[in-house]
Structures are given as C-alpha cells and as structure tokens.
Amino acid sequence: MNDYVCRRFLLVRNWFPDQLNSEGKYYFNGDENFNKYCSNQKCDSDLEKINAACLLLFNELFGSSDLFKYHNNINIVDYIMIWLSYMLNLKKNQDETSNLQYFYTTYINNDKYKNIITGVTGYTNYKDLIDQKKYFLDIDSNIISNFYEAFKLLCEMYTNFDEKTSYCSNCSQNANNFVNKYNEMNGNYNITSNSSYKQLLSTLSNDYNNFKNYYTSKGGNCKDFPLIPTAKTT
C-alpha cells in the first residue's frame, strides 16, 4: 500500500463511481478511460463496465515488469478483489450474475487476464495473481462492505497527505474512523472465526501501521492516531 496505489483507486472511483446513479445503474464519468478494455470499444452491460475498471486497475498496478517490481506486494491484489466484490454487490441480480464466482468464470477466466507479464517471475499473468487469492470467491457479500469502507479510509489518509508540507487534511479523523471500523470487524465472530478474513484484517492493520511510519518519516505527527489491536484469535 502506498500513495500511488491509492491514487489509482481514487482515479477509478472518480471515473467509475462506487455507487449507483439515481436510476439504480452503474455509470462511467468518461468512457474514454475504459474503452480499450471493452468489447468493440464500448462497455454496454454492467459487468462489462466492472470488468473494464478491474482490468485498468491490474494494468496500472501490475501491467509491466517495472510496475510489478514496484508493486510486488501481493496484498495489493486483496484490495483489488475487495473493490471488485463490493462493486459487484452494489446491484443484486436474481440470475446470480453479481456473484464473484460468475464474474471469475465469465471474465477472469479469459484471455485478457491471461496475457503474459513479460519479465516477471513467480506470477505469469493477472489470473495467476487472482488465483493466489481465490478465497474471495466464497467471501460473504454482507461482510465485504466493511472491508471496503476500511480500505477507503486508509487510502484517504494517503491521498490527503502532502509530503512536501507534512500536512494531512482529515488524517486524524480518518485514522479514528478506520480503527473504529477495524475494531468493529475484529469483534465480529463471523469475521475472526474465518482464517481468510483474519488475514485481510492483518493486511489492513499492517498497512495502517505502515502509513503511520511513512507519515512520521515525512515530518508528520501521528500522536493523535489511535493504536490498532492485533486480530483476535478464536
């Protein structure tokens, strides 16, 4: 997790909002940002829109050997999958097309996610990265919104911080909100009794502490940032 990663997610959120419009539909704020990821340069269906944004994120974060080396933290894939799961769940469909398993079979299991990342060892393509996190296919849709909210709060700390001036608007408030959300999840037996969810909690906790270290190293004062407890064991 770093400023670059969070700003890529912020761009995607600006171009493809994480809420439906007044008509209950997914929408783009600029098709030109996604057209090359769409069939025939146009995304007509909801899933095509989500797929285009997902491919853009993978391309921006893992699309070349240089990017891959810079973002070689596999846990970044967790955040892409949290975003993907959240977006799919914005609109429930009776035919189960909002299900992540359906999306995996229909989109991830096709050529665009299987293009070779030249010069990278260990992982050959985007599907290979996703397959390391395949537990997301069984994640509870009622829980994913909690992880997404925590992730957004964490990223807002990065995107609101100006390392040139050491000023961070709303960082203290976001830190408190993040830790409150973390504690809420850490107290939820349905989360702490699941090893995959506990790993996600650990990733969030580590990245929160990493931000505090980064903030301090750039001259920021995080004395008002609350401490975060370790994930509960059951």
The segments of the chain whose pLDDT lies below 70 read 70-73, 94-98, 231-234
In a domain, residue 39? The reply is yes
Domain count, the chain: 2
Are 103 and 148 in the same domain? no
> Do 150 and 199 fall within a single domain?
yes
26 and 91 housed in the same domain: yes
Residues 22 and 133 in one domain: yes
Between CA 129 and CA 57 the distance in angstroms is 13
Q: Would you say residue 82 lies in a domain?
A: yes
Residue 230 domain-assigned (yes or no):
no
Q: Are residues 11 and 89 in the same domain?
A: yes
pTM for the full predicted model: 0.92
Contacts of 52 (CB under 8 A, 6+ apart): 34, 35, 37, 38, 43
Sign of the Cα torsion 57, 113, 81, 199 reads negative
- Residue 182 and residue 204 in contact, taking contact as beta carbons nearer than 8 Å: yes
Q: What is the CA radius of gyration of the chain?
A: 18
> Is there a single domain that holds both residue 26 and residue 129?
yes
Secondary structure of the chain: what % helix, strand, coil (to 5)?
60, 0, 35
* Residue 78 and residue 102 share a domain: yes
Alpha-carbon gap, residue 3 to 10, rounded angstroms: 10
pLDDT in tens, 32-75: 889 899 988 889 899 999 999 999 999 999 887 777 776 556 78
Residues 111, 150 within the same domain? no
**Quick check: is 231 in a domain?**
no
pLDDT score of 134: 85
Cβ atoms within 10 Å, residue 203? 20
- Show the domain range for 59: 3-137
Chosen domain end from 137, 162, 187? 137
Judging by beta carbons within 10 Å of its beta carbon (0-12, 13-18, 19+), is residue 156 exposed, middle or buried? buried
Same domain? 87 vs 39: yes
Position 228 in a domain: no
Nearest Cα neighbor of 72 from 161, 154, 11, 5 is 5
